[in-house]
Amino acid sequence: MKTLSRKFATLALSLLITTLLVGITTMAQINSTLSKPPAAKIDAKKTTVHDETLVDNYHWLRDKSNAEVISYLEAENAYTDAVMKPSAAFQEALYKEMVGRIKETDIDPAYRQGDYLYYKRTEQGKQYPIYARKKRGDQNAPEQVTLELNQMADGLKFMAVGDYEVSPDGKLLAYTTDTTGFREHTLQIKDLMTGKLLPERIARVNSVAWASDNKTLFYVVDDAQTKRPFRLYRHTVGHVGGAEKDTLVYEEKDEMFNLYVSPTRSGAYVVATSASHTTSEVRVIPADKPSAEPRVIEPREASHEYYIDHHTDRFYIRTNEHGAKNFKLVAAPIADPSRKNWKELMPHRKDVMLEDVDLFANHLVVTARENGLPELIITDLRDNKTHNLEFPEPAYTAAVNVNKEFDSEMLRFSYQSLVTSPSIYDYNMRTRERQLVKQTPVLGGYDPARYTSERIHAMAADGTRIPISLVYKKDFRRDGQRPMFLQAYGSYGYAHPISFTSARLSLIDRGVVYAVAHIRGGGEMGKEWHDQGKMMSKKNTFTDFIAAAEHLIKEGYTSRDRLVITGGSAGGLLMGAVANMRPDLFKAIVSHVPFVDVINTMLDETLPLTVSEFQEWGNPKEKAAYEYMKSYSPYENIEAKEYPTMLVKTSLNDSQVMYWEPAKYVARLRATKADKNPLLLKTNMGAGHGGASGRYDSLREVAFDYAFVLSQLGVTQ
């Protein structure tokens, strides 16, 4: 989301020399000697809502085509770089540490599909993976490169692959790429027999699925303005002309709904799912009859969500009907899968969220979540015997991995924790034997036994127990003196993953405790957990986080002057809200692509995501919702008081949280706050919501963030 004088660079260099001579210089001291940061001009825009006039002094920053806007962002970048210049050598050292822990030339485990084994690999010094395949059953089979992203990214600032779908006969590859970060993916088709690209190029494609004839491809396109995926087309390979020349199969006209297409693992059906945040509707097309009219499984009904998969003569349906908030599993005959024929297979449980269903020829795999942790539940469909996969650690993430083949006894799943690096397993669902296929190597002598991971709970004001996951070195003592980096998200029912990253060791090995607060609004404890942190209950998300921070301080894990917090996107909303509510509680804040301009964004229905997210945040055109949103929206609640030091990061091509939200927020905060603590805005001028796309560029961004965090915690080596 005006060119500065060169004196900034000169001053920064001078300050670095001074630092080396006299010892640690705090960022606040550095900031006090630098010239003043950029001051955004005031150009007020007034909006009347519910007889109240809102004044937005920085609305003009929305115009990306305005050279003055770009100059302002570049001025902010120059100022941030000047303030951070004394840490340049430290940033480089952190970056080299992080690169030194990864195996730069490496290969992912291959997955089976048809006659081939498919995989990605990396080469030292190259930013992007190489997609490739080999013939199955021949150890000496030559490698065939299907996509060489490094060549495709030549001359571009950004490159990302969206869909990667091989036709059933293995001869054609349908893939989509985004070259700006704005989530505008272009579909192309490659002939894998000749290596040549076919002539068709279709813009704004969101998802794709092959029919079984190997020449018909279904795809969904986004609306050009709102980016809502809404039209399903049928394409015949070799037919050039774009979406306007293909057959429109279905259009989702309700702006609250997004449309997605996917194949069933059985290969028998193409599934088109329309879904809002609270309701869904599914259509199916026989894969061997691609010209058939889509058939609705069950007509949409407000607040009823259901999702399907296929097995032989039945559809398996995950549904929240009749108050089953955490979903239950039913089955229905293909001949008539309407609700009257649904037969319950797995009942609803109040304390267990049924998150996903995967079907194989002889087995059913259910991904569930209990006590905030994922479970993989396996049922043998031949005798209906069920068992769970066991996982050893107190906090972890486990998930079904890439499983393309229906007729297989093997389940490939992934596992990681705060101390265990990402691991891929093949699990024989019949014999119950588990084989480690690959664990991501961590170079440099990493020993997980040197670290401790635990799960504790804080108590919210209403008595709700808030889980907190932590990791630290084993020499840790709860003396209140340890620095901490606390992260959270808390929106959309998304369960914050317990993930491992070797880059984080650059914090932990320097004595920093890393923690994740699993606050309401997320999905850790089921649908009720989400419901208690959205719409007119959204403030629970913020007060839960404050309760978690207070608990960690009270229990001696850290102290206020040693606590740095972070969140991104909707987690950036969290950062902005708690900064307004309890600025005294935190030493510093790192906010990534933060959704901080809630009212103005949700009033603008031309923006991506706005309409569909009325069911997450509320519609400010309704007075009660407006007043509630306005009471917590970070942009509207900035006050003339002291705030923590902040690093706010955005990307110019972000389509999910537009760059101007953090830019406006920083401008208003800088003009209002009563302290002299550094406030930095860093804009990636060539990326989107997730930041840099290249792996080395991404690590440089992390090194920059960590240098900021560690400097705030008094660690400069």
**CA angle in degrees (0–180, nearest 5) for 586-588-589:** 100
Task: Supply the DSSP string of 572-616, one letter for each residue.
Answer: HHHHHHHHHH-GGG-SEEEEES----HHHHHH-TTSTTTGGGHHH
Task: Supply the DSSP string of 252-284, one letter for each residue.
Answer: ---TT-EEEEEE-TTSSEEEEEEE-SS-EEEEE
Q: What gap in Å lies between CA 432 and CA 496, rounded to an integer? A: 29
Q: Tell whether the torsion through CA atoms of 54, 73, 699 and 124 is positive or negative.
A: positive
Structure token pair of residue 409: 């006894």
Contact present, 410 and 426 (Cβ < 8 Å): yes
Contact present, 359 and 429 (Cβ < 8 Å): no
Contact present, 570 and 545 (Cβ < 8 Å): no
Count Cβ atoms below 10 Å from residue 101 Cβ, excluding itself.
Answer: 20
Q: Is 654 a catalytic residue?
A: yes
DSSP-assigned letter for residue 38: P
Q: Is 711 a catalytic residue?
A: no
Contact present, 263 and 271 (Cβ < 8 Å): yes
Selected catalytic residue, list 262, 421, 469, 569: 569
Q: What gap in Å lies between CA 546 and CA 549, rounded to an integer? A: 5
Q: Tell whether the torsion through CA atoms of 150, 154, 156 and 157 is positive or negative.
A: positive
Q: Is 569 a catalytic residue?
A: yes
Tell me the one-letter amino acid at 468.
Answer: I
Q: What gap in Å lies between CA 420 and CA 449, rounded to an integer? A: 10
Strand partners, 255: none
Buried b vs exposed e over 429-459: b needs ≥16 C-beta within 10 Å?
A: beeeeeeeeeebebeeeeeeeebbbebbebe
Q: Are strands 484-487 and 563-568 parallel, antiparallel or unpaired?
A: parallel
Q: How big is the chain, counted in residues?
A: 717
Q: What gap in Å lies between CA 92 and CA 97, rounded to an integer? A: 9
Q: Are strands 484-487 and 513-517 parallel, antiparallel or unpaired?
A: parallel
Contact present, 181 and 659 (Cβ < 8 Å): no
Contact present, 662 and 1 (Cβ < 8 Å): yes
Selected catalytic residue, list 167, 654, 705, 711: 654
Q: Are strands 196-202 and 465-473 parallel, antiparallel or unpaired?
A: unpaired
Q: Specify the residue for token string 């030339």.
A: 105
Buried b vs exposed e over 558-576: b needs ≥16 C-beta within 10 Å?
A: bbeebbbbbbbbbbbbbbb
Beta strands in 149-225 (DSSP E): 160-166, 172-178, 186-191, 196-202, 205-210, 216-222
CA distances from residue 632 to 235, 399, 430, 596, 628 in whole angstroms, order as listed: 47, 35, 52, 10, 7
Q: What gap in Å lies between CA 399 and CA 382, rounded to an integer? A: 24
Selected catalytic residue, list 304, 363, 551, 689: 689
Contact present, 424 and 416 (Cβ < 8 Å): no
Structure token pair of residue 309: 């998969």
Backbone φ and ψ of 108, nearest 5°: -80, 155
Q: What gap in Å lies between CA 588 and CA 643, rounded to an integer? A: 9
- For the annotated catalytic residues, the residue numbers are 569, 654, 689
